Amino acid sequence: MMRVLVFQHIPVEHPGIFRDFLTAGGGAWDAVELDAGEPIPPFDGYDALWVMGGPMDVWQEREHPWLVAEKRAIREWVSAGRPFLGVCLGHQLLAAAMGGRVGPGEAPEVGVMTVELTDAGRADPLFRGLPKTKTCLQWHGAAVLEAPPAAEVLARSPVCPIQAMRVGACAYGLQYHVEATKDTVPEWGCVPEYEAALEAVQGQGALARFREETARHLPGLNAAARTLYDNFAGIVAGRRRA
């Protein structure tokens, strides 16, 4: 059984379909809503840390002072060699916490898009059984501009060269979203910052088009998510046995 600590930054950005996989496998999770002032608990008893997305940026510590404590907690967790998975903002927080650099990306990526695994990504256990070119859900403007020292870049896209990375043995960051469910785009579309970003890239009425496009791709997205989840769970199990 895997027990996961989850850092959230807005209620609608949660582990999504990963919660279903975790429950089906007899696992459990505790979500900490950092933006609501919930405290980070002791790490004892947790097998993995998942850090999800959010509308804020990693450098907005004055507006969101809890980011300081979150980065410190991520650094402590990863430095101890414990399994970590960060998605979108969580990917960027991993980079910032471990000595990388995050800033505005070359261009926003919003929509159903593709990323390509690097040679290191194709060899990494997290992506075992997944194709070199992956269809995924994107919704971000900031990006990891420089990976932390000794990090491996595992996936890229034309405008975002660090779409996935591994720091150390088992700390992973994914710029793109793997956790999508049928409710993801409708829920995120209710967040003003997300809707504005979507319309800035794709024009008025983009939310309805994005919802339809995501629904068409959802079976494939969910199948890939299942594979990635199983691979991550295997990594966690391996760390427990070590």
160 is catalytic: no
Q: Which of 70, 88, 109, 136 is catalytic?
A: 88
| Catalytic (active site) residue 179 | yes
Tokens 């793109």 belong to 176
Dihedral (Cα; 183, 209, 227, 93), 10-degree rounding = -80
Contacting residues for 242 by C-beta, under 8 A, at least 6 apart: none
> Can you list the alpha helix ranges (DSSP code H) found in the chain?
17-24, 66-79, 89-97, 119-123, 184-188, 192-202, 206-241
Structure tokens at 223: 């199948």
Report which of 133, 130, 147, 157 is spatially closest to residue 227, judged by C-alpha positions.
130
As a whole number of Å, the end-to-end CA separation of the chain is 16
Which of 13, 70, 109, 179 is catalytic? The answer is 179
To the query of whether residue 177 is one of the catalytic residues in this protein, the response is: yes
d(CA 9, CA 178): 17
The tokens for 100 are 């990388």
Active site members: 88, 177, 179
